[in-house]
């Protein structure tokens, strides 16, 4: 009789647990955007915390001018100064070309229409139909631009919220981390703490190596663009360096963009940019990456590429940015809780 009661309690417990798990998954699905924002902010906080710590260790004699929130404020000032310098160097050529294009458009429109009339199917249309078609396309483009602006407004709000969350997690993340671990028994708590600390160490090493690669490519590409007199040299150089944070995909986007901008002026510049990237990619893959990134990520190239594809498919650019730290975290957890368990 006692065994039947205990078995019935066990069955009821399993049923309640199944329903609670299903309800938790449903709530997580409803709040998936908030959970993704929290996860991305936590990853950025883990990766950026060493930078804040390094800034806090700076001293002038015995005086530590940067500590805690002061170190973050100092880093924000550096970022703001860099953005201001970027705006002064990169934006004026773009604004000047846009103004020139706006002034030359009325003079170029008749030549454009004349070229369109020479096409086989467009030649049957009269000028009024062509102009109305162009106006319709412009109106659709304006509507699409307005819709994209609303989407960009929502994206900016998300970025601002993630930025604030990242700052809070950098300042108070240690307390939240210890509070989370306090729900576990002592032995599993210690094991999970050691595992997560090991994953954080690998993420920090990845950040140092990736930042070095970004700086090298950004400086080298900017020098090349300036020497070839490519348009928007400073903006392209900064963008090329920043996009290098996304392996494979970032390099592909920056190469295509640089070639398109170089093609505006001459094919000689296109050839120069193409030769530069061919040489640089060979040097990076054969010399820089083995020396800078060796033993940092400790993931095969296929795993990194699959992580990038999955991250970009789930969350676009943000997903691609956090794909490699997430892959590092998953690899460490699998190694600790599956591989070592099976070895035992």
Per-residue confidence (pLDDT) for residue 310, from 0 to 100 = 83
Per-residue model confidence as pLDDT tens digits over 105-137: 666 656 655 655 555 555 555 555 555 555 555
Per-residue confidence (pLDDT) for residue 223, from 0 to 100 = 92
pLDDT tens for the chain, residues 1 to 344: 555 555 666 666 667 777 787 888 888 788 877 888 888 888 888 877 777 777 777 777 676 666 767 777 777 788 778 778 777 777 777 777 666 666 666 666 566 556 555 555 555 555 555 555 555 555 555 555 455 555 556 667 777 788 888 888 888 878 888 888 888 888 888 888 888 888 888 888 887 888 888 888 889 999 999 898 888 888 888 888 888 877 767 778 888 888 888 888 788 888 999 999 998 888 877 777 766 665 566 777 777 778 878 887 777 777 777 888 888 888 888 888 887 655 55
Per-residue confidence (pLDDT) for residue 119, from 0 to 100 = 53
Report how far Cα 81 is from the mean position of its chain's Cα atoms: 21
The pTM of the full predicted model, rounded to 2 decimals, is 0.68
């Amino acid at each position: 009789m006692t065994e039947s009661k205990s078995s019935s309690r066990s069955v009821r417990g399993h049923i309640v647990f199944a329903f609670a798990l299903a309800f938790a998954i449903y709530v997580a699905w409803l709040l998936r955007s908030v959970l993704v924002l929290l996860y991305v902010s936590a990853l950025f906080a883990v990766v950026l915390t060493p930078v804040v710590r390094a800034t806090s260790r700076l001293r002038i004699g015995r005086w530590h001018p940067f500590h805690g929130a002061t170190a973050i404020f100092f880093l924000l000032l550096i970022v703001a100064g860099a953005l201001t310098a970027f705006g002064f160097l990169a934006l004026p050529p773009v604004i000047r070309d846009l103004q020139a294009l706006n002034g030359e458009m009325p003079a170029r429109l008749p030549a454009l229409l004349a070229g369109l009339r020479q096409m086989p199917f467009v030649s049957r249309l009269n000028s009024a139909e062509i102009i109305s078609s162009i106006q319709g396309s412009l109106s659709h483009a304006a509507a699409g631009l307005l819709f994209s602006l609303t989407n960009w407004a929502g994206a900016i709000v998300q970025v601002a919220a993630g930025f604030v969350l990242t700052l809070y997690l950098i300042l108070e993340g240690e307390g939240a981390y210890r509070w989370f671990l306090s729900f576990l028994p002592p032995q599993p708590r210690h094991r999970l703490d050691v595992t997560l600390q090991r994953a954080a160490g690998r993420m920090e090493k990845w950040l140092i190596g990736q930042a070095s690669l970004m700086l090298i490519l950004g400086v080298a590409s900017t020098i090349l663009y300036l020497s070839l007199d490519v348009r928007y040299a400073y903006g392209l150089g900064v963008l090329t360096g920043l996009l290098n944070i996304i392996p494979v995909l970032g390099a592909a986007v920056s190469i295509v963009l640089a070639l398109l901008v170089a093609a505006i002026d001459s094919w000689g510049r296109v050839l120069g940019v193409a030769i530069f990237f061919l040489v640089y990619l060979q040097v990076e893959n054969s010399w820089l990456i083995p020396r800078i990134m060796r033993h940092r990520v400790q993931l095969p190239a296929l795993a990194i590429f699959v992580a990038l594809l999955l991250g970009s498919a789930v969350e676009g650019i943000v997903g691609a940015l956090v794909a490699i730290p997430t892959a590092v975290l998953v690899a460490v957890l699998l190694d600790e809780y599956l591989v070592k368990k099976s070895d035992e």
